[in-house]
Amino acid sequence: MKCRKCSNKAVINMRHHKLALCGPHFLDWIPDQTQRFIEKYRMFSPDEKILVAVSGGKDSLGLWDVLTRLGYQADGLYIGLGIDAGSGYSAESQRMCEIFAESRGLELIKIDVANVEGASIPQAASLTHRGRGKPCSVCGLTKRHIMNRVARDGGYDVLATGHNLDDEVAVLFGNTLNWAAGYLARQSPVLEFKDGLARKVKPFCRLYERETAAYALVRGIEYIYEECPYAVGATSIYYKETLNRMEADRPGTKLSFYLAFLRAREEGLFAANSYGAGDALHSCIKCGQPTSAPGQCAFCRTWDSVRQRQLVSA
Ligand code: Q46
Ligand code: ZN
Ligand code: ZN
């Protein structure tokens, strides 16, 4: 297979785009596409300060790389979850982020959950019995809170995550199977949050996972291959496998499913389920972050109960 642009040997064939590219042309194509999506969805402008949430994986480090190549001011945020599970997952993912930042002279903010909150994510999950033996519910809640806090305290305009098309389509598929209209209304490449929260953006949302993986590989980015050990058996992985089978039979299925959804959303299909002006959020009385009910937010309630249980069991 030859590169469409120069006839050298192609490193990737993107059947859904009917496009094969060599290494150098593919390394240009990914930032070009990303810039197009940034502009199309009005994610941010060159003078805005971006915080990229990095996990040490190919998507988030690839995104950080692309944003700095495009000339944006982007710092990294690594959240140490304290997940070991025999594989040293958190230690290794942190190491990948550090290597990446140091080799490029970039600013990496590191927040260790156990240091700041007094317990690692698995410890907190087992103390609160939240999430039926899996720490994902405490983890998601905690990551969201810390990202918002760091973005707010650091004066960042935008919070960028490395979600790729496969991630977005798996979420969309799950929400569609359940007709979760509220979630469908909120799934978007850009989340404009009021109440002092940073805007959330996903500049890789139209890139297949295969493409972000190839980018990291061709670009020589060192990243952690393993997924978090708690991701095993997640429904989202089952959806991804199902969608991969559909994509193999009909290239472009995932992209057209996602784009058709965005069009329908744009045309107001879920407008009735969006947050309206009447759904004003409250400020958490403890941390000040927005919350749907008056009083403490879910993060503060969860971590207060973790600390109380630690005292009881001490
Ligand atoms: S939520 Fe669950 Fe992930 Fe947290 S515990 Fe691991 S799998 S990292 S996106
Ligand atoms: Zn080429
Ligand atoms: Zn709070």
Q: What is the pLDDT along the chain (314 residues), one digit of tens a residue?
A: 999 999 999 999 999 999 999 999 999 999 999 999 999 999 999 999 999 999 999 999 999 999 999 999 999 999 999 999 788 999 999 999 999 999 999 999 999 999 999 999 999 999 887 766 789 999 999 999 999 999 999 999 999 999 999 999 999 999 999 999 999 999 999 998 767 788 999 999 999 999 999 999 999 999 999 989 998 888 999 999 999 999 999 999 999 999 999 999 999 998 887 765 446 778 999 999 988 889 999 999 999 999 999 888 77
**Residue pair 56/78 in contact by the 8 Å Cβ criterion:** yes
Ligand 1 atom 5 nearest Cα: 136
**Residue pair 246/47 in contact by the 8 Å Cβ criterion:** no
d(CA 102, CA 265): 41
230 lines ligand 1 (CB under 6 A): yes
Spell out the residues 6+ positions from residue 132 whose beta carbon is closer than 8 angstroms to its own: none
**Residue pair 145/159 in contact by the 8 Å Cβ criterion:** no
d(CA 283, CA 297): 8
228 lines ligand 1 (CB under 6 A): yes
d(CA 197, CA 149): 9
- pTM of this prediction? 0.95
Distance from residue 8's CA to the centre of ligand 1 (Å): 41
Distance from residue 31's CA to the centre of ligand 2 (Å): 15
Which of the 8 DSSP states describes residue 187?
-
Question: Which is the closest atom of ligand 1 to the Cα of 135?
Answer: 5
d(CA 221, CA 223): 6
57 lines ligand 1 (CB under 6 A): no
| Residue 31: strand, helix, or coil | helix
22 to each of 53, 103, 165, 215, how far by Cα in Å? 29, 26, 22, 11
Distance from residue 196's CA to the centre of ligand 3 (Å): 14
Ligand 1 atom 7 nearest Cα: 231
